[in-house]
């Protein structure tokens, strides 16, 4: 009985003390990332270059990430290729697949950067050589190209069934971001609506060049276009046409 009363008294003394103690556990916010894998290779007998980068969040907070590859020739910058943007959480890895197309032989130079959470990682600089490639077929047509504040839209028609098609823009102001887009497949003679995300610093009607090619380099088209803003009435009409293209 005495033992029971002693334990009860001890418990009554300890509980208020334990209840009054606040345990405050916090995790320091650290933003840090690293490239865990990188591959840069030319697709055999083609003008296509395939780049693969894996980025690892080794910090304690999530961040938005995109990859940029600049390619230079003898006369300076040829093209800037931006990946799409991805959110990477702590301990996560995300893959970025980027394609470029160079249809002239010669010596080239590339710079690879990773943009994450406001930081810029200058990852890799290297030289490479482009040799003769097989001549690709031009089977693509583009229609109804227009732009809003954040998106470029148009439709692609292919003269053959094809898959793994890359869409790349060049010739835009260096301060803009225009994402590369990769689509799974195109059906012969069908119109397929395409959306490209982009970030212009200040809007202006702008001449640009669109490149459409298959990952294996078998098909290729390049065309200079005038990027013009899409206003309300035209936007409504185009949205209706997009809807019927998607269900056809």
**What 3-state DSSP class applies to 75?**
coil
- Range with lowest mean pLDDT among 12-21, 149-158, 212-221: 12-21
Same domain, 173 and 145: yes
* Structural domain that includes position 222: 140-247
144 falls within a domain: yes
Same domain, 101 and 187: no
Residue of 221, 151, 175, 225 whose CA lies nearest to 68: 175
**Mean of pLDDT over the chain:** 85
Contact residues for 106 (Cβ-Cβ < 8 A; gap 6+): 73, 74, 129, 130
Q: What is the pLDDT of residues 32-43, one digit of tens each?
A: 999 999 999 888
Q: Phi and psi dihedrals of 192, rounded to 5?
A: -115, 120
Same domain, 87 and 161: no
**What 3-state DSSP class applies to 83?**
coil
173 falls within a domain: yes
> Which secondary-structure segment (H or E) carries 97?
strand 93-101
Same domain, 109 and 151: no
Q: What is the pLDDT of residue 98?
A: 95
Same domain, 109 and 199: no
Sole residue written with tokens 């823009």: 169
Is the per-residue pLDDT at 243 higher than 80?
no
Q: What is the pLDDT of residues 50-76, one digit of tens each?
A: 999 999 999 999 999 999 999 999 889
Q: Considering the chain, what percentage of its residues have pLDDT values greater than 70?
A: 82
Same domain, 166 and 82: no
Same domain, 126 and 144: no
Domain limit, last residue, from 80, 101, 130: 130
Same domain, 239 and 146: yes
- As given in the structure block, the two tokens for residue 199 are 């970030």
Same domain, 186 and 214: yes
191 falls within a domain: yes
Report the predicted TM-score, pTM, of the whole model to 2 decimal places: 0.80
- Span 98-113, average pLDDT: 93
202 falls within a domain: yes
Q: Total structural domains in the chain? A: 2
Same domain, 231 and 176: yes
Same domain, 125 and 71: yes
Reported confidence tier of residue 233, pLDDT bands at 50, 70, 90: very low
Q: What is the pLDDT of residue 239?
A: 66
Q: What is the pLDDT of residues 116-130, one digit of tens each?
A: 999 999 999 999 999
Asked if 112 and 192 count as a contact pair (C-beta separation under 8 A), the reply is no
Q: What is the CATH number for 228?
A: 2.60.40.10
């Amino acid at each position: 009985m005495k033992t029971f009363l002693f334990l009860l008294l001890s418990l009554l003394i300890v509980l208020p003390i334990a209840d009054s103690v606040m345990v405050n556990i916090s995790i320091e916010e650290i933003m840090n990332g690293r490239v865990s894998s990188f591959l840069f290779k030319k697709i055999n007998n083609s003008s296509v270059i395939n780049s693969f980068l894996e980025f690892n969040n080794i910090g304690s907070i999530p961040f938005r990430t995109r990859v940029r590859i600049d390619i230079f020739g003898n006369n300076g910058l040829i093209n800037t290729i931006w990946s799409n943007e991805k959110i990477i959480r702590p301990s996560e890895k995300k893959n970025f697949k980027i394609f470029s197309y160079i249809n002239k032989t010669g010596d080239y130079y590339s710079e690879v950067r990773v943009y994450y959470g406001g930081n810029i990682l200058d990852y890799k600089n290297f030289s490479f050589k482009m040799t003769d490639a097989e001549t690709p077929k031009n089977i693509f047509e583009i229609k109804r190209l227009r732009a809003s504040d954040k998106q470029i839209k148009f439709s692609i028609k292919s003269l053959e069934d094809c898959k793994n098609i890359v869409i790349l823009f060049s010739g835009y102001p260096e301060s803009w971001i225009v994402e590369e887009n990769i689509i799974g497949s195109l059906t012969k003679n069908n119109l397929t609506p395409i959306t490209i995300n982009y970030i212009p610093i200040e809007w202006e009607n702008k001449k640009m060049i669109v490149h459409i090619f298959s990952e294996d380099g078998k098909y290729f088209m390049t065309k200079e276009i005038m990027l013009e803003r899409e206003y309300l009435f035209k936007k409504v009409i185009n949205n209706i046409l997009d809807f019927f293209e998607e269900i056809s």
